[in-house]
Structure 1
Amino acid sequence: MMYEDIPYEVTPMQLSDMSEVMAIERQSFPTPWSVSAYRYELTYNPNAHYYVVRPREKAPPEFDVGANGWRIRLRRLLSTKKLPSPPVLGYVGFWLVAGEAHISTIAVHPKARRKGLGELLLVKVIETALAANADFVTLEVRVSNHGAQRLYEKYGFERRGRRKGYYSDNHEDAWIMTVDRLDSPEFRALFERNKRALWEKLTRDSERNPGWR
């Protein structure tokens, strides 16, 4: 299962993504991170990994047999004007340190939620952790955020502790949720099964309703 097979692409976050990332950040969290915090993470933190998800750009046809097809293709090739990138629909950030992948943030644009994009970003984290031979993935989640907890449980995360008053906006507690034994056959089978189902869903939903808006 390759990322090229689905209608979205997950790529490293760039400083040029900041305006779109911050727009989602402000709509997703009561106490959003600052632009400077993201800039520091991207520029100076060697342990930080940040990704964004976008709709996949359709490549223009190499050849159009229509009467003006070759002219259109030539104009595209000679044009110096850069076409705008597809919009950022969500992002995830995590730290990889001493065998631990710690998810620090994950968010999806309100208009793009409930489409599997948060799960797609989680899959990217787990894949990166596996490639780095990490021992476990961990995160904090609001005790009231049952939807997010169900997603994490789907991938084998379990509650391992509770941080009292963790969230500064309302002093809500956070569950510490962790999945370990990433190299076990049981986890690998669970991960591949969930990933296959997600790939099928993303492709099917895109065919039924092209476009994210």
Structure 2
Amino acid sequence: MNTQRTHRILIERATAQDLERLLRIEQESFSGPWTRKMFEVELEGNPFSYLFAARSIYDGEASGDIVGYVCFWVVFNEVRVMTLAVEPSVRRQGIASELVQFMLTFGRAQGAVRAILEVRASNLAARGLYEQMGFRQTAVRTKYYANPTEDAILMEMNPLEIKLTANS
């Protein structure tokens, strides 16, 4: 019997009004979090960038409560994952999987045929998620991250394939 809980979400474009909540989740999730300015550039200054928020659904309606987000670029035929995070209190409920699946589906609709990302070597949960979704390790960037200094694992999905998750 599968006892994994699922959290129902609605994924939609993030707006400037969402920045405070996105920043809070970012700061709770990463030792080297993005700044407000970095999010603002992705929202308003980068024509290749897409920033989507996952909002909780209660009784069939979106509550407005942001529980996760994904920022990615679609550049030519490639999806580049920039950042993805889920509120710590609702992790392991399928939200990250849904965000990845959404991103890949969106990217494919824009003409992408592959997807790439970098992840901290120590972030075993994220690495496991990406492997489960079909990404494979392709290289290591030594001492890529700061705070603490750490290697980046480069992962790629080529060709881009959308694997359905349990929440699909």
Q: TM-score, normalised by structure 2?
A: 0.89
1:118 aligns with 2:87: no
Residue aligning to 2:9: 8
Indicate whether 1:167 and 2:168 are aligned: no
| Corresponding residue SS for 2:148 | coil
Aligned AA (2:167): L
Partner of 1:143: 121
Percent identity for Structure 1 against Structure 2: 31
User: Match for residue 3 of structure 2?
Assistant: none
Change in CA separation of 1:99 and 1:114 when aligned onto 2, cut-off 3 Å: same
What are the ranges of 5 or more consecutive residues in structure 1 without an aligned counterpart?
Answer: 1-5, 61-83, 200-213
**Could you say which residue in structure 2 is the equivalent of 1:101?**
79
Shift of 1:59: 6.0
The answer to whether the Cα contact below 8 Å between 2:80 and 2:117 also exists between their aligned partners in 1 is yes
In the other structure, the counterpart of 1:153 is 131
- Say which of 173, 177, 198 aligns to 2:167: 198
Aligned counterparts, 1:40-189, within 5 A: 40-58=41-59, 85-182=63-160, 187=161
Q: Mind listing any 5+ residue stretches in structure 2 that lack a counterpart?
A: 1-6
3-state SS in 1 of match to 2:47: coil
Match of 1:18, SS state, is: helix
Supply the RMSD in Å over aligned alpha carbons.
Answer: 1.8
Instruction: Give the letter aligned to residue 13 of structure 2.
Output: P
- Relative to the length of structure 1, the TM-score reads 0.71
Structure in which a larger fraction of residues adopt strand: 2
Q: Indicate if the aligned counterparts of 1:139 and 1:178 stay in contact, CA closer than 8 A.
A: yes
Which of the two has higher C-alpha Rg?
A: 1
In 2, are the aligned partners of 1:162 and 1:176 still within 8 Å (CA)?
yes
